[in-house]
């Protein structure tokens, strides 16, 4: 077993099985990636964060080639063939000193209900993420959120030729945003092309199940992964083994009841926004952002037609006192 660093400048912004590997490793080897936040450097660092590194040090390309998530890789796994399964063990994720969450017009679960844009910064230098405005005159949000960092994007190259968007998740992984893929977890990916051509990026310091406003706590990070190969194990979609990532404690839950799961989901999130606004004094925009990073969506019932139940679950520990 050998450890490698993926080169800083090995960054691409689409899935393409014609990309040359930045690195080739053996099963059992460990690779450390230095990832770029999902904003690809377009979100300026807050004044209190110091100098996190100039764009060339972070592997950022000119604006003309920015399209999808900035992904590190691809890494080829020696001996991997189509029809195998790639096991990706998450060993360590160390976020940068700061992160951000925002929503923008036309994006997110409730895109037609929020106008304009809202952006908050998070201080990630402690055990918990704390909202720390760049503008000293702005009221800080009273939130202390446990950090459970994970890669929002981990995947291998698809079988189909050409360039493919990084936005949707795929049968070979990609932008899954599964918050359970924290250190201690293992992701299993169906290999579609020889070498697998694995890439990763889009680290979130924390996120709720659903990522409802479109972002978690977006940040750069150092990500260390170990690769294994399960020959002739055919998967139709990613699978994973995980560990518990939420601490015990009281939760407040709102629900949506509707014959359509998407409408029930929207109802549950609207209810949580109203709860945070009415009971805890958040603006509705702040509450929407908080739902994306801290509230877990759960399908509670799908058997009693004609209506289904979706719950929005908030760990009350995140509301600082």
- Each residue of 119-131: b (16+ CB within 10 Å) or e? ebbbbbeeebbbb
Q: What is the DSSP string of 267-299?
A: HHHHHHHHHHHHHH---HHHHHHHHHHHPEEEE
Question: Which of 227, 163, 173 has its CA nearest to residue 19?
Answer: 163
Quick check: bond before 32 cis, omega within 30? Answer: no
Domains located in the chain, CATH noted:
3-241 (2.60.120.580), 251-318 (3.10.28.20)
Element (H, E) at 173: strand 173-175
Question: Chunked in runs of 10, what are the mean pLDDT values of the chain (321 residues)?
Answer: 79 95 96 94 88 45 59 96 97 97 92 91 94 81 93 97 94 94 94 97 96 96 97 92 80 94 96 95 96 95 90 91 59
Q: Sort strands 3-5 and 30-35 into parallel, antiparallel or unpaired.
A: parallel
**Facing residues of 199 across strands?**
155
Q: What is the pTM of this model?
A: 0.91
pLDDT at 1: 65
pLDDT at 60: 42
* Whole-angstrom Cα Rg for the chain: 20
């Amino acid at each position: 077993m050998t450890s490698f660093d993926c080169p800083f400048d090995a960054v691409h912004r689409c899935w393409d099985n014609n990309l040359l590997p930045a690195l080739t490793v053996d099963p059992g080897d460990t690779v450390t990636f230095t990832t770029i936040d999902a904003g690809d450097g377009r979100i300026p660092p807050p004044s209190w964060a110091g100098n996190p590194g100039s764009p060339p040090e972070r592997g950022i390309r000119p604006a003309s080639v920015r399209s999808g998530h900035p992904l590190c890789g691809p890494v080829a796994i020696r001996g991997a063939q189509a029809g195998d399964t790639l096991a990706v063990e998450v060993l360590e994720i160390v976020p940068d000193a700061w992160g951000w969450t925002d929503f923008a017009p036309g994006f997110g679960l409730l895109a037609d209900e929020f106008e304009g844009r809202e952006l908050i910064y998070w201080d990630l230098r402690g055990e918990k993420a704390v909202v720390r405005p760049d503008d000293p005159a702005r009221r800080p949000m009273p939130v202390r959120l446990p950090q459970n960092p994970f890669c929002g994007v981990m995947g291998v190259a698809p079988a189909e030729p050409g360039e493919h968007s990084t936005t949707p998740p795929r049968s070979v992984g990609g932008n899954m945003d599964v918050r359970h893929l924290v250190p201690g977890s293992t992701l299993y990916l169906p290999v579609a092309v020889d070498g697998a051509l694995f890439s990763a990026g889009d680290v979130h310091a924390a996120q709720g199940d659903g990522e409802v406003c479109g972002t978690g706590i977006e940040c750069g990070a150092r990500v260390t992964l170990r690769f294994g190969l399960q020959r002739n194990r055919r998967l139709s979609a990613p699978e994973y083994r995980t560990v518990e990532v939420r601490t015990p404690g009281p939760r407040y839950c709102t629900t949506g009841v509707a014959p359509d799961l998407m409408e029930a989901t929207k109802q549950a999130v609207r209810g949580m926004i109203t709860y945070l606004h009415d009971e805890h004094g958040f603006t509705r925009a702040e509450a929407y952002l908080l739902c994306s990073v801290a509230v877990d969506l759960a399908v509670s019932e799908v058997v009693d037609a004609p209506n289904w139940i979706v719950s929005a679950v908030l760990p009350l520990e995140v509301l600082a006192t």
